[in-house]
Amino acid sequence: MLEIKELFSGYEDIDIIKEINISINKGENLFIIGPNGCGKSTLLKSMANIIEYRGSVKIDEEEVSSLDRITLARKIGLMSQTSQIHFPYSVYDTVALGRYAYSKGALSGISKKDKKIILESIENVGLSDLKDKMITELSGGQLQRVFLARVFAQDPDVILLDEPTNHLDLKHQIEILQYLKKWVKDNNKILIGVLHDLNLVHYFADRVMLLDKGEVVSYGKASEVLNNERIESIYGIDIKGFMQNVLEKWR
């Protein structure tokens, strides 16, 4: 179980995230929504202990800020919005980096089991044909799937994904989200994701958290949180009306 209590975090003594309290069971996903700048990425970074927090973030009773790097990497994996490429690694080598928490460090030292997991992770995002290609030669969507495969290879208990599908075409968005949902259920993991597409959130989320100005406005099932009046008051747009309008244009 992931338990967050009285969580505050931010930058340079200014709190962006204020008083978050949630608990999520294994096998469940939670999607965080909210307008630009409301603190979604900051919340994920706090959970992954990339930025300091006050309050408590516990995975199976263990405070994440007290874990060493290797244990933390086995417990929690973050795919952030701005995964930068600095080195011309192949797809395989990039995904292999996900296994560092289980190996002795050097890529040459990875085990047969690691190899199998790396290849399966690449296959699960549909990139087997590109496994030897340099990541500098990939499209944005292919690259995003490489980073997803790296998180799968890392195989943490809690997976944090910041806009995991924003570079993907609709088919791949749906396929990846379907796969993630199943992966979470089958392997008793916890997924916390940030998505802007409220249709996809409606369809895939077990739980939804609506954030505004760093505070939780609403938390619960998608059908409870995604109430048109509430969404309009936070986003300042009649999203349901807009969607209905668009749908009518389809033949």
Contact residues toward ligand ATP (CB under 6 A) are: 11, 16, 34, 36-42
Q: What are the C-alpha distances in Å from 226 to residues 9, 37, 49, 114, 194?
A: 26, 19, 29, 41, 15
Which one, 11 or 242, has the nearer CB to ligand ATP? 11
> Degrees (nearest 5) of the Cα angle 218, 46, 143?
95
Amino acid at the residue 193: G
Shortest Cβ 32–ligand ATP spacing (Å): 8
Shortest Cβ 179–ligand ATP spacing (Å): 23
Structure-block tokens of residue 21 = 């309290």
Q: What are the C-alpha distances in Å from 209 to residues 32, 40, 162, 186, 219?
A: 5, 10, 14, 23, 4
Which one, 82 or 108, has the nearer CB to ligand ATP? 82
> Degrees (nearest 5) of the Cα angle 206, 147, 57?
50
Shortest Cβ 47–ligand ATP spacing (Å): 12
Which one, 40 or 145, has the nearer CB to ligand ATP? 40
Which one, 16 or 149, has the nearer CB to ligand ATP? 16
Shortest Cβ 116–ligand ATP spacing (Å): 35
Shortest Cβ 82–ligand ATP spacing (Å): 10
Which one, 226 or 234, has the nearer CB to ligand ATP? 234
